[in-house]
Structure 1
Amino acid sequence: MGLGIGVVGIFLSIYFYLRGKQIKQTAWVIISNTLVEDYSSTLTGLSVIYKKREVQNLTISKLAFWNKGSVTIDGKDLKTVNPLKIGPTGETQILDLAVVKTNNESSNFSIKKMGNSRLICFDYLNPNDGAVFQIIHTGISSKDVEISGKIRGCTNIKHVRKVSNPSLISIIYNLAVVSLGIVVLISAISQRKFGEIILPITIIVLYSLLFILDIGNRVPKGLESLLDYSTLLYKKRRIT
């Protein structure tokens, strides 16, 4: 019984410690759909023009950026020698970029052109506040666009490789499995069946970690449209 309570106590302590810790951090994630890729090598005589400019490749990306920490980020924190910006990697060209969604209008997101990049500006960002940007560029994947720069006081700008929006059912399921593991663990200890405690401990640790990772990679409420591939224009009209 004491061991079971101890395990629960450890997880609760970690949870409340992380919730109470003052962290200044941002995160971003990107998805892309390539509409045209090197068309000239397969379709001679065809020209693809975007805003009076001929392009060989054309990709639409959606990038979500948000305050992943626990403290408010002020717009003044953006004033560094390496400002926050969305830009290309390699020789990719940014053709167009716009803010298409915010979950707090008072943040007042805006963008400013700086060469082939776009500066990100806002008045302030409360925890879980952010925006979704639509980027039209000449790259062929999400790897061709990135967020870079520094924000005063932020530990880092975390690139979330895979996002998830766990449903209430999946959250309840994970909690139920962890609870069942705790019950089995307590039962095994109370009956002095110490050889049977490895399995419930493994279940508790594994599902707790999965739950934490699932929540940690969640896109904030109001920005879920990033995950809707149908909003990427002309998804089924790809030319290769």
Structure 2
Amino acid sequence: MGDFDSLLGIFSLGWVGSVIGLLGIAIAIFIYLRTRQRTRLAFAYTAQQLLGSTGALPRDITLQFRGKEITKLTRTLVLVWNSGENTILADQIVSSDPLQLVFAEGSQVLSATVLKQTRAVNQLQTILIPEPGNSLFLRFEYLDTGDGALIEVLHTSDDRFPLFLGTIRGMPKGIEDLGNIRSMSGKAWSFRMHPRIIAWANLIGGILMVAVGIFPTTLAKMHDVGFVFSSPAFALAAGSAYILLSFFILYFYRRKYPKALQPDTLLSDSKYESRKAIQGDAQQA
């Protein structure tokens, strides 16, 4: 009866009701996240300059495109996918404002290739725009939840990442920019410091603390220690907090794009440019 009496004693405390209430809120948020219905198209990117001042290729290498020498060449990978719960149909794209990837004015898009797509039936394709030559259209039949593609673009722009323009009916906030693929995949973190590793450690510790708070006498006997946890109520509260924090970190640092679209290699660029800086330059131009 020792453990049962201890459990009754814990639930008789006033603050335990608050902890249960917080857990109820957390469960409600989880159910909402699992059942919500949104129309969302997201994209992410990574890039590497191949030819130029910081290019990966030797400087004495020269390239030509349509008879003209190229002094700059950048490879950009763009992930595009349906990150919502509703299907996006081709007729939802506004004809007067089609989907397009646009690089800096005066640059040239040399090629655009769909490297991967979740399903061929989506018929996702890229179409280069001849004039002025710094952009390309993006078209598809439909995208269910998680459907998308990995697109490789070779271009001469100083801005390594494009603007994603276009309007889709039912998406008043526009296309969602989720930033660099490296930060989303976790490859930029070392194994020791990866937030998900820390979250799992916190989760295990939180579960153990909750167990100590609920069954202090039994656990003490199991481990043959000569004492009972001095404050089971504190262990229960702290453990619950650790568990909630762990779930938050795991959700925040989850891989947001479909696993099927994971690039085979992540590109590195010593001159990483943030999206805000690029958009600011575009607005000034």
- The answer to whether the superposition gives a TM-score over 0.5 is yes
The CA deviation at 1:174 is 4.1
Q: Is the 8 A contact 2:100 2:164 kept in 1?
A: yes
Aligned residue in 1 for 2:185? 164
Aligned residue in 1 for 2:202? 177
Report the identity percentage: 23
- Any unmatched runs of 5+ in structure 2? 1-10, 188-194, 216-229, 269-285
Structure 1 distance, partners of 2:44, 2:264, is 10
The amino acid that maps onto 2:52 is E
Matches within 5 A, 1:30-179: 30-38=45-53, 47-114=62-129, 115=131, 116-140=134-158, 142-143=160-161, 145-154=162-171, 155-161=173-179, 162-164=183-185, 174=199, 177-178=202-203
Q: 1:116-174, CA deviations, whole angstroms, 9 ceiling, x for partnerless residues? A: 3111110000000000111001124533x2322111112431111232279xxx97984
Structure 1 distance, partners of 2:119, 2:59, is 47
The CA deviation at 1:93 is 2.2
Larger relative contact order (Cα-Cα within 8 Å, sequence gap ≥ 6): 1
The CA deviation at 1:60 is 0.8
TM normalised by structure 2 equals: 0.66
Q: Is 1:222 aligned to residue 260 of structure 2?
A: yes
Aligned residue in 2 for 1:238? none
Q: Is the 8 A contact 1:30 1:142 kept in 2?
A: no
Number of residue pairs aligned between Structure 1 and Structure 2: 223
Structure 1 distance, partners of 2:59, 2:98, is 42
TM normalised by structure 1 equals: 0.77
Aligned residue in 2 for 1:19? 34
SS of corresponding position for 1:160: strand
Structure 2 distance, partners of 1:128, 1:44, is 41
Q: What CA RMSD, in Å, does the superposition of the two structures yield over aligned residues? A: 3.4
- Any unmatched runs of 5+ in structure 1? 236-240
Larger radius of gyration: 2
